Amino acid sequence: MNALPARIGALLLLALALSLATEGFATATNLLNVLRQASLLFLVASGLTLVIIGGGLDLSVAANLTLSACTAALAFKATGSVAAAVATALGCGLAVGLLNGLLVAVVRVPAFLATYGTLWIASGAAYWLMAGRVVYGFPPALRGLGTGFVLGVPTPVWIMLAVAVAGGAFLFLSAAGREVFFTGANEEAARLSGIPVRRRRILVYGLSGLMCGVAALVYLGRVNAAEAGLGDPLLLPAVAAVLIGGTSLFGGAGGLAGTLVGALILTTVTNGLNLLDVGAAWHPFVTGTIILAALGADALLARRGA
Amino acid sequence: MRRVTAALVLATMLAAPPTARAADETIAAFSKNQVDPHFEGLRIGVDQAAAALGATVRHYVPTRPNNIAEATSQLEDVVAAHPAAALFMAVDARAQLPGVQRLIASGVPVVNYNDRAGDAPFVSYVGQDDFALGKAIALHLFDHLGGRGGVVILEGVRGSTTGDDRRRGFEAAARERPGIRILASQPANFQRLPALQAMENIMQRYPRIDGVIAAADAMALGAVEALAAAGRANVPVVSINGVPEAVEAVRDGRILAIAEFNGFRIGCVAANLAIRHLRGENVPREVLLPGAIITRANMAEWLVPFAQRRCPPPIPAT
Amino acid sequence: MPMAERALPAPFRRAPGAAVALVVLVAIFAASSGGRFLSVGNLVSLSSQVALLLLVALPMTFVVLTEGLDLSVGALMGLAGVVAATAMLGGWGVPGALLAALGTGLVLGAVNGALIAWGGMPAFVVTLGTMGLAEGLALAVTDGEPVSGFGDAPRLAWQAMIGPVPLPVAVAAALYALLHLLLYRTPFGAHVVAVGGNREALRLAGIRGRAVHAAVYVLSASCAALAAFLLVGRTNAAHPTVALGVEFDAIVAVVLGGTSFERGQGWLFGTVLGAAAIGVLRNGLNVLAVDPSLQVVAVGLLAILALVAGNRRGGRART
């Protein structure tokens, strides 16, 4: 089992330190602000978590977010219909995800390279479609997904919680979810015990792509504009959120609660650095330190448990 | 959009056949990324001016936005492609100086445009004064605030010529207005989402912010979204560039003013000078284009999409 | 060329996608560029670009052979370059600067190696962490500003020719020879192959196996530091983030060249072909002035098509 309580503890310690060190941190509005900022990162990282649990990797998530947001924006401008934008974002995300799934599970290209290839193809398609333009200005129905509030809590935070709960139910309560764990832990054994390994693998890549489509809608709602390259800053933080959350790159272990905590830790740190007015130059250094610290903590816990 | 431009340009060419055309006038035009509309405007300006004189343009843009290593390789590759002339801007001036010196040494005349690329024997420089733009727009905001208040700065990429010169301009303006306090100054890498999130975080610390200065439109638009979502849409935001999306925000009162950094016009003038140099004309060593302050009163001119704009009349020969 | 390596049965039967891609690409570009692609000037700059990539990709082959990967090399190149430039400004001279850069590489490589080999932590995560450390340090030390004004020596080194061969190419060739001997003719090389071939055997191999496992990361980081010095010469400045992303090109070159992420199968010369294919593609697209947005798509298509054509073996990235 992953060391989830330790990670929650680390997040709480971080929050405590920041509320002592800064004035603005421990306010209701700032905590909601952190949650809202974490939601985009979590959505991109959530599908990636499933892929990694299943023993794969998806480097195309940020590029997929970009392409889904750009196609959805173009679809809205062409039709004026929010429903068309939603359908395009989800459809585009799913299509890129299924392409990954087919390349990895059927053509059997190593996941690292297959998804690195689709990263470039999706980025290139976005560059070509947008040709240096920005598509902007969306109606309240779409903006609400990013900027709205329900019962005083930002809409994207509700979406994040819904995905975390639904994803957790899929992983831990459904037969297909358990089979994803088995596939990731030991592919050969999973196949021998009759698990449809290929279909499970395509399923997780498809879900990862679909989550990029959901994230694209939240992005459009929040930022109100789409341009090529918009997702690029999210790739490494998304991978880091999954890993800090304790999902193992060896497959077969992990969960969405961990990724949620990972995304919150990363977002809280950036928020804290901004509140303390620390230069952005230090952000990668701090992120790197946190990743290594999470690893070290796991190693210590594992040793003590053994 | 590019296809529309091509059609327009073709029409212009047919209407006014160019004179004194040399054999192979292919111009290599460098720009920093395929993301920022400023550079799309610049490329359209280059295409339009070149087509008006009957020259061909090839664009070189790194596949990863503002990637120094890739831009350096492209520079080396252009030495091999050996165009008749080149229009050059550096992703990083110091890092690309040896490359552009070699391009010039290989016999290709190079016009430096958009921002200064260091000390090399360029035919001429076409651009605007980033320091002056930064200072002018900051003073515009400070005077709007009556010379008093706390402001937030959203910087570009630390270490980039454009970003650093603009930041120095903001700071110089602040020194001239002692009632102004800079609350926070954070880089947001010329990008929208980082600017939006940095602004959200800074707002948590400062319950009162009197104004925001962004080093480029995309960051200003990100800040505007953050302020609006927090119910602080009345905080005035100023910016530099003037791409149509941001000018619409000026029209709608969401951005107070923009210092014009006109990529389209820079592209027009640079391409025109390079081709006339090839045809033996003496062209000016340096063209510093003026930048207007775009406000609600005068913004109509900048609402026109790049593809429908017309290049200004050519700068006279020297 | 290493056609009959003992550890590697019939490499051409695996038909690395890189070899196919390279031949096709060269033919296309040569035919359609009107002689520009094959001009001496272009071959010099193309081969120097490939050489720089090889300085990272050749040792990366060792890393991939141990079923690992090293994401930190690009960030490290930025940091080592800044260290070298600062050392030169501080009057250490070129040898001192080179040593300082190598020292930076050794330290970071040792951290990677220790955490991975002795800590038993996944290489992907460890090197993602050290990537952040190196990038952050380089940015923080320089405040994002490039370091320059250290004289002409690095630039002259990058542009130097040894007979008809550019110095970076000579350096890459020497490194290839050295690593070839190391991989195929020494017990160290046999250990590297064994590490990847059988994790269980590695675990039981004790100190020696772990030392070998750690050493590949030290090798990777040291070579990256050497490449950083040449890169400083190429750009006549040390930019803290100049090489971010190089690690992906290097890994793609390795795998295009037929080295597998699992089972300890690899081919060092295949990496040369893989790096050449990437270099030829990027250079050729520029020389032909292909539309920039289509260039982005072309890179992705090459990666996938070459793999589908040449490397149809099973596998997932088990890193």
Q: Do B35 and A227 touch (CB under 8 A)?
A: yes
Backbone angles phi, psi at B231, to 5 degrees: 70, 25
Which of C304, C305, C311 best tests the A interface by mutation, with the highest count of A CBs <10 A?
C304
pLDDT at B187: 83
Closest residue, chain B, to C293 (C-alpha): B63
Question: Taking 70 as the threshold, does the pLDDT of residue C147 lie above it?
Answer: yes
Query: Over 50: is that where the pLDDT of B174 sits?
Result: yes
Encoded amino acid at A41, one letter? L
Q: What is the mean pLDDT of residues A173-199?
A: 89
CB C259 within 8 A of CB C267: yes
Contacts of B158 in chain C (CB under 8 A): 139, 143-145
Asked if residue B26 has pLDDT above 80, the reply is: yes
- The residues, ordered by sequence, that sit 6+ positions from B121 with a Cβ below 8 Å of its Cβ are B104
- Please provide the CATH number assigned to the domain covering B130-260: 3.40.50.2300
Whole-angstrom CA distances from C267 to A255, C63, C188, C255 are 37, 12, 16, 10
CB–CB of B68 and C239 under 8 A? yes
Which of the pair, C35 or B259, is modelled with greater confidence?
Answer: B259
pLDDT at position C197 is 64
* Residue % of chain C over a pLDDT of 90: 32
In DSSP notation, B87-111 reads EE--SSHHHHHHHHHHHHHTT--EE
Which chain A residue shows the shortest CA-CA distance from C251? Answer: A113
Query: Does the pLDDT value for residue C13 go beyond 50?
Result: no
Cβ neighbours of residue B98 under 8 Å, at least 6 residues apart?
C155, C234, C235, C236
Average pLDDT over residues A257-270: 92
Which of A30, A133, A143 to mutate to probe the B interface, most B CBs <10 Å?
A133
Q: What is the pLDDT of residue B91?
A: 87
Ranking B35-44, C221-230, C243-252 by mean pLDDT, the lowest is C243-252
Q: Rounded to an integer, what distance in angstroms lies between the CA atom of residue C222 and that of residue A69?
A: 41
pLDDT attached to residue C5: 38
Chains near B with 3+ CB pairs less than 8 A apart are A, C
Q: Indicate if B130-260 has the same CATH topology as B2-127+263-289.
A: yes
**Per-residue pLDDT for C6 more than 70?**
no
CA angle B130, B134, B138 (to 5 degrees): 170
Helix (H, G, I), strand (E, B) or coil at B147: coil
Neighbours of C286 (CB within 10 A): 24
Beta-bridge partners for B27: B57, B85
**Which range among A122-131, A208-217, B23-32, C267-276 has the greatest average pLDDT?**
A208-217
Model pLDDT, residue C207: 66
Q: Closest to B197 (Cβ–Cβ): which among A37, A131, A224?
A: A37
Whether the pLDDT of residue A233 is over 90: the answer is: no
Mean pLDDT on B258-277: 96
What is the band of C122 on the pLDDT scale with cuts at 50, 70, 90?
confident
Q: Which of A92-106, C17-31, C201-215, C299-313 has the highest mean pLDDT?
A: A92-106
B184: phi then psi, degrees, rounded to nearest 5 = -150, 150
Whether B278 has a pLDDT exceeding 80, the answer reads: yes
Q: Which two tokens stand for residue C144?
A: 């994002």
Contacts of residue C129 in chain A, CB cutoff 8 Å? Answer: 288-289, 291-292, 295
Domains of chain C: 15-310 (1.10.3470)
Nearest-CA distance from C129 to chain B in Å? 21
Give domain limits for chain B: 2-127+263-289, 130-260
**Model confidence at C203, in pLDDT bands (50, 70, 90)?**
low
Q: State whether C69 and A112 contact (CB < 8 Å).
A: yes
Domains, chain A, in order of start with CATH, read 4-305 (1.10.3470)
CA A78 – CA A66 distance, rounded (Å): 18
What ipTM score was computed for the predicted complex, to two decimals? 0.80
Q: What does the alpha-carbon distance between residue A229 and residue C293 come to, in Å, rounded to a whole number?
A: 12
How far apart, in whole angstroms, are the C-alpha atoms of residue A114 and residue C300? 9
The string over C261-270, giving b where at least 16 C-beta atoms fall within 10 Å of a residue's C-beta and e elsewhere, is bbbbbbbbbb
Q: What is the mean pLDDT of residues C188-205?
A: 70
Smallest CA–CA distance, residue C295 to chain B, in Å, is: 7
- For the ranges A50-54, A265-269, A272-276, B117-121, the lowest mean pLDDT is seen at A272-276
3-state helix, strand, coil in chain C (%, to 5): 75, 0, 25
Average pLDDT, chain A: 89
User: Smallest Cβ distance to C121: which of A131, A287, A299?
Assistant: A299
Tokens of B255: 């951005």
Out of A203-217, B243-257, C18-32, least confident range: C18-32
A97-106, B209-218, B222-231, C158-167: segment of lowest average pLDDT: C158-167
**pLDDT score of C76 more than 90:** yes
CA within 13 Å, CB half, A194: 1
Q: What percent of chain B has pLDDT over 70?
A: 92
By CA distance, what is B190's nearest residue in A?
A230
Fold of B2-127+263-289: Rossmann fold (3.40.50)
Question: Is the pLDDT assigned to residue C272 strictly greater than 90?
Answer: yes
What residues 248-287 of chain A have any CB closer than 8 A to a CB of chain C? 248-251, 279, 281-287
